[in-house]
């Protein structure tokens, strides 16, 4: 049975998606001052401090928390920051990162033995075609290395998704905060091995740079997960989840608006193919149930 979502709650969901999408531009702004791995370490430091002083640890094992923290903190965002640091534009990064949905499906099928449906293969081929368009148009702003790093970040995100799914019904804000503890030490270690000038970078941080860090720690992570989790519990998944498809829209739009990133025809074509594949994957189960299409069982 359909449940009507009040306009104020729809707007709240769109606000979260806008925060998530515009975060790619904020990352780029922070990278103008901070080394990427140090930037990621600061993000997760303030994702667990001071939150863990006020939020109880979720009812999940330390191993699961460590798994999520490492894959999301080091894998997803560590690689994403390295990519945006001169190897791919924020707008395209926001688009390519959404391929985590297909990686998540693939991992779930490998772990559960579920068979792949023809429509999922077609949706994946659409997304791959979009990635192919990007690969054929790499330039000074987007390189093969940057594209590869974001794809690896998307794979890490998918691994984190599997961990959070295995955690069950829990407080996602507490989960994100407590798992962040495991992201900081390896990020700091990697930063001090491969980067330089960390102490000077922290000492000279301005208010806008601190704002970029806290925007991601509190806005993107804690606020975003808190509101999104509250909406997903309150309303059917079909009413809320598809709005996440707007993340690349906000990501590419914010990058064009604030950073002057051009949006030539090939980028729009790539976006249409990737988002078309994502949309088909999201909406097909509901369409098959609604119209009893072949393959719905």
How high is the pLDDT of residue 55?
Answer: 92
Residue 265 falls within a domain, yes or no? no
Residue 272 falls within a domain, yes or no? no
How high is the pLDDT of residue 138?
Answer: 73
pTM for the full predicted model: 0.88
Residue 111 falls within a domain, yes or no? no
Tens place of pLDDT for every residue, the chain, 297 residues? 445 678 888 899 899 999 999 999 999 999 999 999 999 999 999 999 999 999 999 999 999 999 999 999 999 999 999 999 999 999 999 999 989 888 888 887 888 776 777 888 888 899 999 999 998 887 667 889 999 999 999 999 989 988 888 888 888 899 999 999 999 999 999 999 999 999 999 999 999 999 999 999 999 888 988 888 788 767 776 667 678 888 899 999 999 999 998 888 999 999 999 999 888 887 776 666 666 655 544
Residue 242 falls within a domain, yes or no? yes
The whole domain housing 11 covers: 7-105+142-257
Between CA 160 and CA 158 the distance in angstroms is 5
How high is the pLDDT of residue 30?
Answer: 95
Residue 216 falls within a domain, yes or no? yes
How high is the pLDDT of residue 1?
Answer: 44
How high is the pLDDT of residue 204?
Answer: 96
Residue 91 falls within a domain, yes or no? yes
191 exposure class (CB count in 10 Å sphere: 0-12, 13-18, 19+): buried
Residue 90 falls within a domain, yes or no? yes
Between CA 90 and CA 234 the distance in angstroms is 32
Helices (H) and strands (E) in the chain, counts: 16, 0
Residue 234 falls within a domain, yes or no? yes
Q: How many domains does the chain have?
A: 1
Between CA 297 and CA 280 the distance in angstroms is 17
- Spell out the long-range contacts of 126-129 with Cβ–Cβ below 8 A and sequence spacing 24 or more: 126/273, 126/274, 126/276, 126/277, 126/280, 127/99, 127/102, 127/273, 127/274, 127/277, 127/278, 128/277, 129/273
How large is the greatest C-alpha to C-alpha distance in the chain, in angstroms? Answer: 62
Between CA 228 and CA 16 the distance in angstroms is 7
Closest CA to 152 of 77, 210, 218, 87: 77
């Amino acid at each position: 049975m359909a449940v009507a979502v009040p306009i104020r709650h729809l707007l709240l969901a769109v606000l979260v998606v806008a925060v998530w999408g515009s975060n790619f531009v904020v990352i780029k702004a922070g990278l103008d001052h901070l080394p990427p791995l140090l930037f990621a370490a600061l993000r997760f430091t303030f994702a667990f401090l001071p939150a863990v002083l006020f939020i109880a640890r979720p009812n999940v094992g330390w191993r699961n928390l460590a798994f999520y923290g490492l894959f999301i903190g080091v894998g997803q965002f560590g690689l994403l920051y390295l990519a945006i640091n001169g190897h791919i534009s924020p707008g395209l990064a926001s688009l390519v990162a959404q391929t985590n949905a297909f990686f998540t499906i693939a991992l779930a099928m490998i772990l559960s033995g579920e068979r792949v449906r023809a429509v999922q293969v077609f949706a994946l081929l659409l997304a791959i075609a979009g990635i192919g368009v990007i690969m054929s148009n790499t330039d000074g702003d987007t390189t093969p290395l940057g594209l590869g790093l974001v794809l690896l970040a998307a794979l890490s995100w998918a691994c984190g998704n599997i961990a959070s799914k295995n955690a069950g019904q829990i407080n996602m804000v507490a989960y994100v905060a407590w798992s962040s503890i495991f992201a900081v030490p390896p990020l700091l270690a990697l930063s001090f091995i491969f980067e330089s000038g960390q102490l000077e970078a922290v000492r000279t941080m301005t208010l806008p740079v601190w704002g970029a860090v806290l925007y991601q720690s509190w806005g993107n992570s804690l606020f975003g997960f808190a509101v999104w989790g509250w909406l997903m519990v309150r309303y059917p998944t079909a009413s809320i989840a598809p709005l996440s498809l707007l993340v690349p829209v906000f990501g590419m739009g914010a990058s064009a608006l604030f950073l002057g990133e051009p949006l030539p025809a090939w980028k729009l074509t790539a976006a249409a193919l990737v988002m078309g594949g994502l949309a088909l994957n999201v909406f097909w189960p509901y369409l098959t149930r609604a119209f009893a299409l072949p393959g719905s069982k």
